[in-house]
Amino acid sequence: MTTKGKPPIGPSPVASDDLEAARARLYLDADLTPGRDVVLGPEHATYLRTVLRLKPGAALALFNARDGEVAAVLAGFAKGSATLSLVRTTRTPAPEPGPWLLFALVKRTRVDFIVEKATELGVERLVPVVTRRTQSNRTNLERLSMIAAEAAEQCERLTVPTIEAPEALERALSHLPPDRLLLVAAEAGPAQPLAEVMIPADTAVLIGPEGGFDPSELAMLADRPNTVLVGLGPRILRADTAALAALAIVQSRHAVARPVRAGPDDTAA
């Protein structure tokens, strides 16, 4: 992927209303300054042409997790590439603070699902952890980052959550800011219903492995400062279900208004 400082290729061939209704949204790690062209490589070009079936002149929305969101026009295709003309900023950069999710590694497909849905639910940081009952301590961070980026495209986030390398539970907890409340989804022992807990904005959620935490881990967590063991209802949930249930409750306490894109006559700043 490359960017060019020359003027966009020709005049914008789509109306302003079409730019705001762009059905394709892409995360690109590139300079998205309006007035530039961005040349995409074969993978993105194939996606636009074959999967989305876009034609030259189609409107797209682009973001890079740094510069907000930019309206763009598909200028054309070449062999193994596509060129986008960046038109204007429609959403300015804005912080998107959210909960952190610490989760014990489970089967690959379930980890993929957790990352995708946690991104949609506004998680700021994802931390895979290894517990006493964790069956695997490996994961593909590159694949997970791609899944998170695709989920951010779909849910219209401006940022993509940070995904840490897996580490032991105790070590992961040592990196948690002391003022960030830790909510532990506990299957056993005394636990307060999550729906009844006062949830601050700076919150982390910890989900255990299939089979639950080891009793020694639960005892350690119960003694940890600024930590609350919480229940998610009367049934035993799979790890991925528990993560979504907890995050949905946390998000509902700190929901923000849906962003509005700036039109051509608005000042995005």
Q: What is the pLDDT of residues 181-239, one digit of tens each?
A: 999 999 877 889 998 999 998 999 999 998 899 999 999 999 999 999 999 988 889 99
Please indicate whether residue 17 or residue 26 has the higher confidence score (pLDDT): 26
- C-alpha 219/C-alpha 223 separation (Å) is 6
Q: pLDDT class for 265, splitting at 50, 70, 90?
A: low
Rounded Cα–Cα distance for residues 67 and 93 (Å): 5
What's residue 15's pLDDT? 47
Please state the rounded mean pLDDT for residues 232-256. 90
Residues 114, 129: Cα–Cα separation, whole Å: 13
Residue 2: band (very low, low, confident or very high) from pLDDT cuts 50, 70, 90: low
So what's the pLDDT on residue 201?
87
- Please tell me which of 12-16, 95-99, 176-180, 233-237 the model is most confident about, judged by mean pLDDT: 176-180
Residue 20 is which amino acid? E
Cα–Cα distance for residue pair 240/235, rounded to 1 Å? 14
Distance from C-alpha of 70 to C-alpha of 151, rounded to nearest angstrom: 18
pLDDT tens figures, 121-173: 999 999 999 999 998 878 999 999 999 999 999 999 999 999 999 999 999 99
Residues ≥6 apart with Cβ < 8 Å to 117: 151, 240, 243, 244, 247
What is the Cα–Cα distance from 146 to 143, expressed in whole angstroms? 5
Q: For residue range 81-121, what is the model confidence (pLDDT) as tens digits?
A: 999 999 999 999 888 889 999 999 999 999 999 999 999 99
Summary mean pLDDT of the chain: 88
Three-state helix/strand/coil letters over the chain: CEEECCCCCCCCCCCHHHHHCCCEEEECCCCCCCCCEEEECHHHHHHHHHHCCCCCCCEEEEECCCCCEEEEEEEEEECCEEEEEEEEEEECCCCCCCCEEEEECCCHHHHHHHHHHHHHCCCCEEEEEECCCCCCCCCCHHHHHHHHHHHHHHHCCCCCCEECCCEEHHHHHHCCCCCCEEEEECCCCCCEEHHHCCCCCCEEEEECCCCCCCHHHHHHHHCCCCEEEEECCCCCCCHHHHHHHHHHHHHHHCCCCCCCCCCCCCCCC
Instruction: Calculate mean pLDDT across residues 243-262.
Output: 79
pLDDT value at residue 24: 87
User: Rounded to an integer, what distance in angstroms lies between the CA atom of residue 238 and that of residue 109?
Assistant: 13
Distance of alpha carbon 226 from alpha carbon 83, whole angstroms = 51
Distance CA 96, CA 61 (A): 18
In angstroms, the CA 92 to CA 115 distance is 25
User: Residue 262 pLDDT > 80, yes or no?
Assistant: no
Strand partners, 89: 70
Kindly state the tokens that stand for 55.
């034609």
Please determine, for residue 12, whether its predicted confidence score (pLDDT) is greater than 50.
no
Structure tokens at 94: 């804005």
First to last CA, the chain: 27
| N residues, the chain | 269
Instruction: Give the pLDDT band of residue 22 (cuts 50, 70, 90).
Output: low
pLDDT at 135: 84
Domains in the chain with CATH codes: 2-91 (2.40.240.20), 100-253 (3.40.1280.10)
